[in-house]
A and B are shown apart, each in its own frame.
Chain A
Amino acid sequence: MGIQTPNGFNLDNSGKRIVVDPLTRIEGHLRVEVNVDSNNVIRNAVSTGTMWRGIETILRNRDPRDAWAFTERICGVCTGTHALTSVRAVENALGISIPENANSIRNIMQLCLQVHDHLVHFYHLHALDWVDVVSALKADPKATSALAQSISDWPLSSPGYFKDLQIRLTKFVESGQLGPFKNAYWGHAAYKLPPEANLMAVAHYLEALDFQKEIVKVHTIYGGKNPHPNWLVGGVPCAINVDGTGAVGAINMERLNLVSSIIDRCIEFTEQVYLPDVAAIGSFYKDWLYGGGLSGKSVMAYGDIPENANDYSAKNLKLPRGVILNGNLKEVLPIDHADPEQIQEFVTHSWYKYPDETKGLHPWDGITEPNYQLGPNAKGTKTDIKELDEGGKYSWIKAPRWRGNAVEVGPLARYIVGYAQGKPEFKEPTEKFLKDLNLPVTALFSTLGRTAARALECQWAARQMRYFQDKLVARIKAGDSSTANVEKWKPESWPKEAKGFGFTEAPRGALAHWIKIKDTKIDNYQCVVPTTWNGSPRDPKGNIGAFEASLMDTPMADPEKPLEILRTIHSFDPCLACSTHVMSPDGQELATVKVR
């Protein structure tokens, strides 16, 4: 019954099957099935993407200069990051270089997204997996104030502040209108925070909701709008005119100063609220170190945030780049996106068709042809699946592999690679965070570690925004207002055929696009997104993906209330998401929960 996977997990699907599936209409494209043993420990995990994306099909025969606008719409949350990846792919294919100012502005946009996404992810999509809102009603506001003041200098921390919130919250809960807080497992045994920590976290949930609207203004200034700001092959579509005498709507000193003040507030909020909260919450969960999955074995980061424009080599990238295999932190392996033997996608267990499915395809040669069929042991029908058969095809997500290895991507992967490379800006904050909690470095390989790495990275990103904003302003003051290179804008200047790739570190992990251009049109386009890596199904050799691996061996307090599954899957910040319904083994709907 047990199967040993090549990547070191023992799967046993003989126990009770639990299905966690999104059924809502607007969002919700991830389904997880697990088998638990008689002690309710997860012994088999199956992750499936239930939505067909199809952007690659839409892009064929379009103008490569427009591709960013389509790919950006893959997601409304990690907005902009696909566009950045796309313009880099086209620039790589056509040999287009961008001005330094464009590089700085792109970095600020990308870092701003990291800060926004990490903050929103933690408070609005993940915190309630750790924080019991209803327990906050029992908190003593004075003790909450003392707790808040013991961990941070953040000014909103008086007993009266917490008392007022508690009164509003009590009224709210008593009215039965839980709003954003409904659909959770309040009172679940897996919640460990004292009422005061819960009340403090609820306060910060609301403060983050209020603050996040400020962060996105950076995108509206440099990109014209948010979500889905504007981008440009060859630079950025924003003119700089500090004298304010030229074009209306250009970036002037007033706009630059507004960005600067928002950056200050991002740093302040991250350092005085977000990081202290994660540390405080972590201190109550340091015995719950499940969920590591692949992180202690194989992780990958492409790197991002070029110091200088047009140089995407590891040494010029401020976010770490490289692959770690089999837990060997002593060796960080180099990545080549153009090498057909390195990054390949498999579809043996995915709802796509290849001429030969025993082999993977490099994205330049990628095929996105749907083939929806269930395995012989699936239960239910194609329109109403009760139980998937992981022995057959079972996901709309392909299985990308690096030299045949399943890897985890995301903030934790970036921090592990940076740690292994001995980069102090990643190593030191990580060590400090763990030391303050009295935890060994290996504790990083966990759900908690994933959540902590995201918070540490948010601080790093906020400070890097400051760095690139200062760099931009200094260059502008020195007289350089160039933001775009249009030398090769006209298709007549392009070769008859070209191919390229672009990569970024999206908030949720390594992201790359591959493009082939023929006769000035897109001939083939493939996106391999972070959640494809993390949420991937099994490959022909039987390696399980990062989501699947992370759930293995986790004990559940109550399989009918799978808080532990949600907590771990949420810690990846999956881009698939939203409302998920929880089904019991007999298919009856139990409850609705939020999954992201």
Chain B
Amino acid sequence: MSEAGQDRILVLGIGNILWADEGFGVRVVEEFHRRYAVPDNVTILDGGTQGLYLVNYVEDADALIVFDAIDYGLAPGELKLVRDDEVPRFTGAKKMSLHQTGFQEVLSAADLLGRYPKRLALIGCQPLDLEDWGGPLTEPVRAQIEPAIRLACELLVQWGAPPVPRTEPLAPAERLLANDIDHLNYEMRARSA
């Protein structure tokens, strides 16, 4: 339960783990959750490829952090933080993400409902390979999981909700992606395939 007056913060990873670097956002949020505990006003969500219906979570958030694989036309593995008003402007200008129709629709729908987040940060990584069906994250993109998490931590500190490194390892049942599709297990199979 969040205390009165406290902003509700949503940390959301989106993407498709079956499509190589397209899974970046989900893998970041999975790892973030594995390593950090967050205050009660922060929600961590694996949004997968849910599309428009993520609006029901976004509309409840005062502040939103989104991890995603985004085509900015940069070098593969380059990380970019886009904030607030730049987000819709940017997405409108160029096709940035494979499921961007999905997420831009979510933001637009929240806007039309009159419940657009007050603060918004999009942490995007330039993908290298989106064609490798069932494949792992590529090295340059995998290398950005750590920096993406650091960026999110800085934002959460600025927003008064600092994450705390877990002292006890997260129980398997508490993981975001369980049942063998967590990053390590999934990619071991993807590589041996």
Contacts and interface: CB of A to CB of B under 8 A. Distances in A.
B165 to A, nearest CB: 30
Contact of A209 (B19, B52, B88, B98): B52
A206 B109 contact: yes
B99 interface: yes
B19 A180 contact: no
Interface in A61-104: none
Contact of B109 (A25, A176, A180, A213): A180
Contacts of A172: 108, 111-112
Given A177-B92, A180-B105, A213-B53, A25 B19 contact: yes
Contact of A206 (B56, B112, B130): B112
B16 interface: yes
A213 to B, nearest CB: 4
B114 A179 contact: no
A25 B18 CA distance: 12
A220 to B, nearest CB: 13
A558 B53 CA distance: 33
Contact of B108 (A25, A26, A180, A579): A180
Interface in B66-115: 88, 92, 98-99, 101-102, 104-105, 107-109, 111-114
B55 interface: yes
A169 B102 contact: no
A253 B55 CA distance: 30
B88 A25 contact: no
A168 interface: yes
Interface-centre pick from B16, B53, B59, B98 (highest chain A CB count, 10 A): B53
Contacts of A168: 111-112, 114
Given A177-B108, A209-B55, A213-B53, A579 B101 contact: yes
Nearest to A178: B108
A212 interface: yes
Contacts of A180: 52, 105, 108-109
A179 B109 contact: yes
A124 interface: yes
B144 interface: no
A169 B108 CA distance: 10
B71 to A, nearest CB: 12
A206 B59 CA distance: 12
Given A26-B99, A124-B52, A179 B19 contact: no
B15 to A, nearest CB: 10
Interface-centre pick from A124, A178, A179, A213 (highest chain B CB count, 10 A): A179
Contacts of B130: 25
Contact of A26 (B55, B102, B111): B102
Nearest to A202: B112
Interface range on chain B: under 10, 10 to 19, 20 to 34, or 35 or more? 20 to 34
Interface string A159-192: 0000011001100100111111100000000000
Nearest to A181: B108
Contacts of A124: 52
A209 B114 contact: no
B108 A209 contact: no
A26 B99 CA distance: 7
A492 interface: no
Nearest to A120: B53
Interface in A15-30: 24-26
A178 B105 CA distance: 8
Interface residues of A, number: 22
A210 interface: yes
A176 B92 contact: yes
A176 to B, nearest CB: 6
Contact of B105 (A179, A206, A212): A179
B109 A209 contact: yes
A213 B55 CA distance: 10
Contact of A179 (B49, B56, B108): B108
Nearest to B91: A177
Interface in B39-57: 49, 52-53, 55-56
A24 B49 CA distance: 14
Contacts of A179: 104-105, 107-109, 111-112
A26 B16 contact: yes
Interface in A107-160: 124
Contact of B49 (A26, A169, A206, A212): A26
Contact of B113 (A24, A26, A209, A579): A209
A579 B99 CA distance: 10
Contacts of B55: 209
Contacts of B112: 165, 168-169, 172, 179, 206
A164 B59 CA distance: 18
A125 to B, nearest CB: 10
A52 to B, nearest CB: 12
Interface string B127-140: 00010000000000
Nearest to B59: A210
Contacts of A176: 92
A26 to B, nearest CB: 5
B108 to A, nearest CB: 2
Given A177-B88, A180-B52, A209-B52, A26 B109 contact: no
A165 B108 CA distance: 13
A175 B112 CA distance: 12
Given A26-B16, A26-B49, A176-B92, A213 B56 contact: yes
Contacts of B59: 210
A26 B23 CA distance: 12
Contacts of B52: 124, 180, 209
A284 B53 CA distance: 30
A511 to B, nearest CB: 23
B91 to A, nearest CB: 8
Contacts of B108: 172, 177-181
Contacts of B104: 177, 179
A164 B104 CA distance: 22
A199 B114 CA distance: 16
Contacts of A165: 112
A62 B105 CA distance: 39
Interface string B14-35: 0010010000000000000000
6 contacts: A175-B88, A177-B88, A178-B108, A179-B105, A180-B109, A209-B109
Q: What are the 4 A-B residue pairs with the smallest beta carbon separation, nearest first? A: A179-B108, A213-B56, A180-B105, A179-B105
Given A164-B114, A206-B113, 12 more contacts: A26-B16, A26-B99, A26-B102, A124-B52, A168-B111, A169-B112, A172-B112, A177-B108, A178-B108, A179-B105, A209-B55, A209-B113
